[in-house]
Structure 1
Amino acid sequence: MIESTPQPPLPAPAHRWAVVSLLLGLATTCGFALEPHVSLTSLAMVYVLAVAVAAYKLDWIGSSVCAVAAVTALNFFFVPPRWTFEVESQEHFIALGAMLVVALAISHLATGLRRETDLARLNEQRARQLQALATELANAASHDQVLALGRTALETGFAGPCLLALTLEDGRLDLPADVDAMVHDGMVACVREAAVLGPGTGRWPGLDAWFLPLGEKGHVAGAACVRPAPAADEAGREHAQALCALLGQALWRLRLNADMLRAQGEAHHQQLQSTFLAAISHDLRTPLAAIVGAASSLLTQRDKLAPPEQERLLRSIASEAAYLSTVTENTLQLVRLSGPAQSLRRDWESLEEIVGAVLARVRQRDPGRRIKSSVPEGLPLIKGDPVLLAQLIANLLDNALTYSEGPIELSVSAHVQALEVSVKDRGPGLSDAQQASLFAPHVRGDHPGVRGAGLGLAVCKAIAEAHGARLTHRHRSGGGSRFSLLLPVESAQPAREVA
């Protein structure tokens, strides 16, 4: 709980009168010592000084009693006739009355000043707490952090018990199961009405706590229950409202940030899909036209075409259809993997089997047997989608076959908790500018006579990231490129069946 800066403690009621007696005794002793040398007015100032000290040290009861006792002591010990409570002179009577008024005024002013000082210190501490909370909330990145900071702030600012709860997605408050029914109803009502309830608010004044919404009407993110809640403590209620306003703003900021990121992701996804659709419509137009032309020629002029010409048209149809299949598969996979929700079918797979299946397919397009493979036995299993991993390796091999003419090396090696798949070629290599955008969609090499949609390496990168793997490119000494796929291997391996 926030407390004012430590002050000299006020004496307990039992000691209050001892302080009054001590001050009056000292004033009287000084009066007797000074009486031969000063006037009665000067002696009165000694008692006024005692009253001022009492007003500083004691509460208003003690200081008021000291003021009355000081006037009485001055009259008894020094005002003629001495040693009596009678006043023989009207002048002395007026002086004693004036002294009493001054003493009581000093007591009242000192008590008020102490009260205002304590309130000023308390307001300063509350302002510092608000400033510190605002700074901490600016760095909060989750609802749990905001909730923890809010609870700490309420426990620091008020004696408690205090309660803080956020609204769930269905609008209900996330309250403990054993919460008191009155507290539950108060917090639900303050969220529904988006208003402060409790003593001094004009709403539900019979409650023993303040119920404050976190946020403004239309976007209330939770509620707080603050105790104690005196109806007259307007400053305390305003401080609680300020704390809850900061918490509400922080929660609303987190929600806006989440909505903004979600909107940006959806916009990016829509833009990506539009780009892919535009690209595929452009890249499929030429092979489709070739297939339609070749099929039309075979259909309408088959009897007039020589067998070599018919074979050429059939080869063209098969080649263009294979190209269409590759472009379509790459585009669909890239769209799926670039979406906000990735759903991969990840099982325990053998990398030797995946590489073997890929080589069996790719070597049909490698009549020169340029691909040389090196895959050791007994490799650990990996967890992944075999179809996607096969497509990744096939794209790397197709890329090497397309952009190089020399031998191509496919190797698999085991590292600490990882398997590395490397595809090396002796092609012309890449410039620094080409390497910077190597894995971007629709980026194609500038080799003459080579066509493509520029999606193969982008799909490889997306598949690698979906598996928590890393795909890199490096230049080879002597020319060429090396693509390396580093796949993570889990330490807990399933038991293998013994043949």
Structure 2
Amino acid sequence: MLLKLPSIRQYVIVITLVMSTTFGLFFLREVLTLANFSLIYLLVVLLIAARAGTRPSLLAAVLCFLSFNFFLIKPYYTFLVSDSRELLDLIVFLLVAFLVGQLASNARQQAKNARQRADEKEVLHKLASMFNQLSTREGIYDALQNVLSEELHTRHVHILPYASVVMLTDQTVCYLVLGQGEHVYGTLCVAFDEPPDETKLSLLNTSAIQARMALERIELTEKLSRSQTIEEADRLKTALLHAVSHDLRTPITIIKTSASSLMSLRQQLDVEQQNEMLAVIESEADELNRMVGNLLDMSRLQAGALYLHLELNSLEEVIGDVAARMYQLHKAERLSISFPDDMPLVKFDYGLILQAVTNLVENALRYEPAESKIEIVTTLATANNEARIAVINHGPTIVSEVRQHLFEPFYHGVEGNIGLGLAITKGIIEAHQGRITVEDTPGGGATFTFTLSLSKESAEITL
């Protein structure tokens, strides 16, 4: 296309096109009229103006005028015109050619500007869409570099991690500071193969402004997140102090009292009474150990320091271990367990899922009537490619006010205990990319259900 050719080549092509047209008309000069010649030359001028711009079209108009006069109007091969009407026709042709060339050139420029604006909007929309999906500075930098390299055909794009004031000696290199005032995020350095035009500079500036706004958004989000983290830490600290001062003090007090009684009244107590006190001490020590363990687990969850050791494991084995532990603690079979016949192995962290199921069962046992059993029902949801484990108790129904806070750490509930088991369980399940929900059990009670995804390996290995 003429648009992309250097200026000298444009003019050479203009001259060649006018000469070729004149050569063709030369053999038709006895057949065609002056009006026909004028229209054909105007078409040539219009084509050149639409493709090459104003200056080439003006050259074409002058060349067409001279060729028209020299080769096609009698007397031939001279610029003299014998008929005044033909002279008027030539002058009118030249004026019309200039006007047509200018109008076509203006239309071409407007179309070019419209395309450039559309391209610029497309690039800016692409940048904005990418920036909205990113949440890190590095992501913003990478997106900006990739888009500018692709859309502006740059030689090099780099972002300096500081505000750089540069005395430019190379017109092909641009430096733009990303930020303003004290909020400076770096300097955008862009190198072109040739000095950029106004369109590229405008797009470059607008892109830098968009990047600055995206970086400001990320900075504000980080500040808000830090503020929320501090508030959450303060809330957890307050709750922890309350737990230490109340919930942890209770078993410590019982242990201290029982131990003191054993020491001071040992001679007055028979063996059975001493064993009862020792059993109380052991039970409260276990409770204290459980509370401290929950506090440590909760702190790891809050700090994001929970690491999963994922392996293919048997849910039947996990739930069997929970049942054995509950039997050892309660000296009775309190669990009713069911599995599908085609239960596959599932990829999870054995110790963490064991803890999660234990927490759910211990929570259920607090409310389960002594004459009934906790149900643990495992099913396969093949449509969602997941296993579902439901822990069902038949105690009192959970009121809505309590239900919405069940999984919050340090929520004391009606009975006022420390309230960490369910929060830890939720953290463990979500770390496995699963979900946990609570629903009412028909006839009274609560059903806690959590899910674990079935991996490709799970589908291939069935017990």
Residues 394-443 of structure 1: per-residue CA shift (max 9 Å, x gap):
21121112122242234353524544433222101123443333323333
Aligned AA (1:154) = L
Count of residues in correspondence between the two structures: 422
Q: 1:466 to 1:102 in 2, by over 3 A?
A: same
Distance change (3 Å), C-alpha of 1:418 and 1:336: same
Alignment CA distance shift 1:50-1:283 (3 Å): closer
Are the structure 2 counterparts of residues 154 and 342 from structure 1 closer, same or farther at C-alpha, using a change threshold of 3 Å?
farther
The 2-side partners of 1:374 and 1:84 are apart by 109
Correspondences of 1:404-483 after superposition (within 5 Å) = 404-406=368-370, 407-411=372-376, 413=378, 415=380, 416=382, 418-446=386-414, 450-483=415-448
CA apart distance, 1:445: 3.7
Q: Structure 1 unaligned runs (5+)?
A: 32-45, 78-82, 156-161, 173-190
Contact map agreement 2:439 2:448 (CA 8 A) in 1: yes
Q: Tell me the CA shift for residue 126 of structure 1.
A: 0.9
Question: What is the alpha-carbon distance in structure 2 between the residues aligned to residue 349 and residue 255 of structure 1?
Answer: 44
Kindly state the Cα deviation for residue 193 of structure 1 after the two structures are TM-superposed. 5.2
CA contact (8 A) 1:165 1:222 kept: yes
Kindly state the Cα deviation for residue 391 of structure 1 after the two structures are TM-superposed.
Answer: 1.7
Q: 1-side partners of 2:295 and 2:386: how far apart?
A: 28
CA displacement, residues 112-164 of structure 1 (integer Å, 9 cap, x when unaligned)? 55444433322221112112222232222355665554455335xxxxxx446
Equivalent of 2:269, from 307, 312, 328? Answer: 307
Partner residue in 2 for 1:203: 169
SS in structure 2 at match of 1:430: coil
TM-score, normalised to structure 1, is: 0.66
- Which letter does structure 2 place at the counterpart of 1:453? I
The 1:260–1:337 alpha-carbon spacing in structure 2 relative to 1, beyond 3 Å, is: farther
**Residues 60, 454 of structure 1: alpha-carbon distance in 2 compared, 3 angstrom cutoff:** same
CA contact (8 A) 1:337 1:466 kept: no
- Aligned twin of 2:198: 238
1:112-261 counterparts in 2 under 5 A? 112-140=102-130, 141-142=133-134, 143=139, 149-154=147-152, 162-163=154-155, 165=157, 167=159, 203-205=169-171, 210-213=172-175, 216=178, 218-220=184-186, 223-227=189-193, 229=194, 237-261=197-221
CA displacement, residues 171-210 of structure 1 (integer Å, 9 cap, x when unaligned):
69xxxxxxxxxxxxxxxxxx99577x9xxxx6225xxxx3
Report how far residue 288 of structure 1 moved: 1.9
Aligned counterparts, 1:22-61, within 5 A? 22=25, 56=46, 59-61=57-59
Tell me the equivalent position of 1:14: 16
**Displacement, 1:241?**
1.9
Which of 1 and 2 has greater Rg? 1
* CA distance in structure 2 between the partners assigned to 1:399 and 1:458 by the alignment: 12
Matching residue within 343, 359, 363 for 1:395: 359
2:256 equivalent in structure 1: 295
Once the two structures are overlaid, the 10-residue window that deviates more, 468-477 or 362-371, is 362-371
The 8 Å contact of residues 377 and 389 in structure 2, kept in 1 or not, is answered as yes
Contact 1:376 1:412 in 2 (8 A): no
- Going from structure 1 to structure 2, the CA distance change for 1:319 and 1:252 (only over 3 Å counts) comes to farther
- From the superposition, tell whether residues 312 and 256 of structure 1 become closer, same or farther in structure 2 (CA, over 3 Å): farther
Cα distance in structure 1, aligned partners of 2:392 and 2:331: 18
- Taking only aligned residues, the RMSD between alpha carbons, in angstroms, comes to 4.9
From 347, 355, 363, the counterpart of 2:311: 347
Structure 2 distance, partners of 1:26, 1:244, is 58
Contact 1:470–1:486 (Cα < 8 Å) also in 2: yes
Counterpart secondary structure, 2:443: coil
Deviation at 1:457, TM superposition (A): 1.2
Larger CA deviation: 118-127 vs 240-249: 240-249
After TM superposition, the structure 1 stretch with the greater mean CA deviation from structure 2, 304-313 or 392-401, is 304-313
Counterpart code for 2:239: A
2:243 to 277, 283, 297: 283
- For residues 429 and 67 of structure 1, do their structure 2 counterparts lie closer, same or farther at Cα, with a shift above 3 Å needed? same
Matched residue type, 1:347: E
State the distance in 1 between where 2:199 and 2:30 align.
45
> Secondary structure of the equivalent of 2:444?
coil
Deviation at 1:282, TM superposition (A): 0.7
Q: What letter corresponds to residue 444 of structure 2 in structure 1?
A: G
1:348–1:55: structure 2 CA closer, same or farther, 3 Å change rule?
closer
Question: Cα–Cα, structure 1 residues 237 and 368, in superposed 2: closer, same or farther, change >3 Å?
Answer: same
> How far, CA to CA, are the matches of 1:274 and 1:414 in structure 2?
41
Distance 2:309 2:65 in 1: 89
Q: In structure 2, the residue corresponding to 1:280 is in which secondary structure?
A: helix
| Partner residue, 2:453 | 488
Gaps of 5+ in 2: 5-9, 49-56
Residue 333 in 1 paired to residue 297 in 2? yes
Q: In the aligned structure 2, how far is the partner of 1:109 from the partner of 1:376?
A: 87
- Percent identity between matched residues is 21
Instruction: Please give the alpha-carbon distance, in whole angstroms, between the structure 1 residues aligned to 2:300 and 2:401.
Output: 28
